Chain A
Amino acid sequence: MSGQSKTMDTDRPAAALGAARSAADLVVAIAADANVAGFSVKGPRRVEGRVDAASLHSFASALRTRVGFEHLSAISCVDWLADGQFELVYHFWSYRDNCLVSAHVRIARDSASMETITDLWQPASFFERDIHEMFGVTFQGNTDLEKYILTDWAGPPPMRKDFVSRDFAHDHFEFKDYEPSWDDLVTGGYHGSRGVAEGSNE
């Protein structure tokens, strides 16, 4: 771990917190500074725990300003169809302590809504937009939830577990056999399912 001191810079608020802490110490720090108990060490440099949806924003804010987590690594979403819930998992990385905190939040699947954290971490805007597009979770306060990847998509949010790709394809597309004759292939006469009208001799 040589050169570690290079990352400690005085102009970053997290650097004022002293020496790097272990994962077990972070659990204590989270309980004290972010006022959320129940976090536990999951593995080397991994801490995880559950947070209420209503207190996620204040938790994240405390995690950033008081515990010193500067980097939002990702926001993941899992659809627990049987439970009727979405699970949002916020992954925060601390450059100071070299540890990842995963905060699991469960929200109701119907009219799923969550408070945004783009005011704390700007990169959250992409992750929230992506989850909105793929799962249909609305993030209150995020002004940029337009479609991004699926701009031509009119169906339901496709990453939901009740969206079955195969059924959707059967329902929305006509099945056609691709059996061109040899002559069609040679002359280029076969135009597939969208081919020219029969008898048009093109």
Chain B
Amino acid sequence: MSDIVTASDGRDIMPGAFAPENREYNMFIGPNHPGIEGNFALKLTVEGDTIIKAKTEAGFLHRGFEKLMEERLFIQNIAIVARICVPDPDPNEENYARAIETIANIEVPRRAQFIRVLVLELSRIASHLFTFGGHAGTIGLYTMPNWSISDRDRVLDLFEELTGGRVYHIYNMPGGVRRDLPDGFKDRVRDVMNFIEDRLVEYDDLFFNNKIMLQRAIGIGILPRDKALAWGATGPDLRAAGFAHDVRRDDPYEVYSELEFEVPTATDSDAYSRTMVRRREIEQSIGIVRQVLDRMPEGPVWNKQPNPLKWRVPAGDAYVRTESSKGEYAYYMVSDGGVRPYRVHVRGASVTHGVHILENMLVGARIEDASQIMFTLDACPPEVDR
């Protein structure tokens, strides 16, 4: 080593370069980074290629939504909540509507409950496809993002037809959904589901069984099960650690208790198994969508509410949970009987994955795996910032 810093005449040209106190250096990833679903920064302390300390830095997407919601009418906030998580916005709409329905004891028509499940599962599929593209991008497989994100567009086409919006749908209203399915919509959903089911097989060759994927992702970013529980992991990250908890099954909402689906798990809990759990979840979601289309009853889709501009929600509070594509997604809403919510607390799935778990898991990892670990944990910065 010493000949690197010693000139031919024996002079030390980099004094102290290998002194113990100079072995560590700081490295910054982000806040603008293509491997992240939003602006988010990692401050890494690195020794050689190994990360010895990691701190996250958030706040680049802080829009003060929780404060803003307290100053707007209940109906106005429906347009805000979807913006809290960009890749998977529908759990927000679902939570917000269901919190109001729980406090005010509003009944949702059965057809609307089926439509909500349909929208939530389509959103999960779209979000997982997005994650595949992101994961592949972090390990240098750039064909996969092109495939999966263009396939995601087929789901967004369905959303556009159903709700008018591709990314943000603003479709759930307290008491139901905004409008009924268009004519022939069910057939188009079935077509897209068949298409994605076929594509998953093609993804196997391109991505899931790709040699680069196997070498880069297996054994990387291991989150042991006891740590997963202690650090508060939820969703696919917890299930990849072999712990079968799913809010849809264990705390069912809407009509999930009537639908048949499995909760996929894995045992290795590395970057590869987390992505494979998401792949199997897409298969389950396709199955749920098909059941919903077959069993959806006829009837009204909205339990009409009084004039939304003067609409008062009775005093009370509610804590509602939804299984988003990233994990447990919860809202705590308090109403004081007024026309505006008194307090809405958004508990995104990423507040544990993106901060606590990520900071702990990056210790000991290598620099080139940092963004892969972050992406397979599915940390969504807008959820952390709100």
Contact = CB atoms under 8 A, between A and B. Distances in A.
Interface of A: 1, 3, 6-7, 9, 11-12, 43, 45-46, 70-74, 76-79, 89, 91, 95, 98, 100, 102, 121-123, 125-127, 130, 134, 148-151, 158-159, 165
A8 to B, nearest CB: 10
A158 B65 CA distance: 12
A77 to B, nearest CB: 7
Contacts of A45: 251
B285 interface: no
A158 B67 CA distance: 8
Given A71-B232, A76-B345, A158-B67, A3 B244 contact: yes
B231 A3 contact: no
B66 interface: yes
Contacts of B263: 3
A100 B262 contact: no
B265 A6 contact: yes
B355 A158 contact: no
Contact of A100 (B62, B229, B319): B319
Contacts of B262: 3
A3 B261 CA distance: 11
5 contacts: A7-B243, A74-B347, A95-B243, A130-B351, A159-B66
Contacts of B57: 151
A123 B250 contact: no
A1 B257 CA distance: 8
A73 B355 contact: no
Interface stretch (B132-140, B292-300, B328-336): B328-336
How many B residues touch the partner, as a band?
Answer: 35 or more
B92 interface: no
A127 B348 CA distance: 11
Contacts of B59: 148-151
Interface majority SS (helix, strand, loop, mixed), chain A: mixed
Interface of B: 57-59, 62, 64, 66-68, 71, 102, 226, 229-232, 234, 243-245, 249-251, 262-263, 265, 317, 319, 321, 328, 330, 332, 334, 342-343, 345, 347, 351-352, 355-356, 384-385
Contact of A91 (B234, B332, B342, B352): B332
Interface majority SS (helix, strand, loop, mixed), chain B: mixed
B161 to A, nearest CB: 34
Contacts of B102: 43
Nearest to A73: B330
Nearest to B102: A43
- Interface centre among A12, A126, A134, by most B CB within 10 Å? A126
Contacts of B345: 74, 76-77
- Interface centre among A45, A98, A127, A149, by most B CB within 10 Å? A149
B347 A73 contact: yes
Contacts of A11: 226
Nearest to A97: B250
B93 to A, nearest CB: 19
Contact of B343 (A74, A78, A123, A148): A78
A196 to B, nearest CB: 28
Contact of B332 (A12, A74, A125, A149): A74
A126 B352 contact: yes
B319 A122 contact: no
Contacts of B351: 123, 126-127, 130
Contacts of A77: 345
A150 B384 CA distance: 12
Given A74-B330, A125-B356, 11 more contacts: A3-B249, A43-B102, A45-B251, A46-B319, A89-B332, A100-B251, A100-B319, A134-B66, A149-B385, A150-B62, A158-B67
